[in-house]
Chains A and B, each alone.
Chain A
Amino acid sequence: MFLPEPYRKIALDGIWNNNIVFGQNLALCPLLAVTGTATNGLGMGLATLVVIIASNGLISVTRHLIPNEIRIPIFVLLIAALVTLVDILMNAWAHELYKVLGLFIALIVTNCALLGRAEAFASKQPVRHALWDGLMMGLGFALVLVALGAAREISASGTLFANASLLLGESFSFLEVTVIPDYKGFLLMALPPGGFIMLAFLIVGKRLIDQKLAERKVPVAVLTPVNAEE
Chain B
Amino acid sequence: MKIDPATVEHWKKQAAIYKEFVINWLEPANLERLRPLLEFQTGILAGFALIASVLLGVTNCSTEGTIQRRLQEDLQNSLAEVVPADLYDNDLLQDTLTIPSANYNIGTNETTVYIAKKFGKVTAVSFKFTAPDGYSGAINMIMGVDRDGNILGVRVLSHKETPGLGDKIEVAKSNWILSFVGRSLDNLTPTQWAVKKDGGEFDQFAGATITPRKSVQAIYRGLQLFKEHQAQLINP
A→B interface (CB under 8 Å): 36-37, 64-70, 73-74, 77-78, 80-81, 84-85, 88-89, 91-93, 95, 99, 156-157, 163, 166, 185, 187, 190-191
Contact = CB atoms under 8 A, between A and B. Distances in A.
Given A91-B63, A92-B67, A77 B49 contact: yes
B24 interface: no
Contacts of A163: 172
Contacts of B188: none
B98 to A, nearest CB: 26
B117 to A, nearest CB: 29
A85 B55 contact: yes
Interface of B: 26, 28, 31-32, 35-36, 40-41, 44-45, 48-49, 52, 55-56, 59-60, 63, 66-67, 70, 73-74, 162-165, 172, 207
Contacts of B207: 187
B67 A70 contact: no
A91 B66 CA distance: 9
A70 B34 CA distance: 14
Contacts, number: 70
B54 to A, nearest CB: 10
A67 to B, nearest CB: 4
Given A67-B44, A81-B52, A85-B55, A37 B163 contact: yes
Chain A interface, DSSP helix/strand/loop, else mixed: helix
Given A67-B41, A73-B45, A92-B63, A157 B56 contact: no
19 contacts: A36-B163, A36-B164, A37-B163, A64-B28, A65-B31, A66-B44, A67-B41, A69-B41, A74-B45, A80-B52, A81-B55, A81-B56, A85-B56, A88-B56, A92-B66, A163-B172, A185-B164, A190-B163, A190-B164
B48 A78 contact: yes
A64 B56 contact: no
B55 A77 contact: no
A185 B163 CA distance: 13
B101 to A, nearest CB: 27
Contacts of B28: 64
A157 B32 CA distance: 57
A84 B44 contact: no
B172 A70 contact: no
Contacts of A156: 164
A85 B60 CA distance: 8
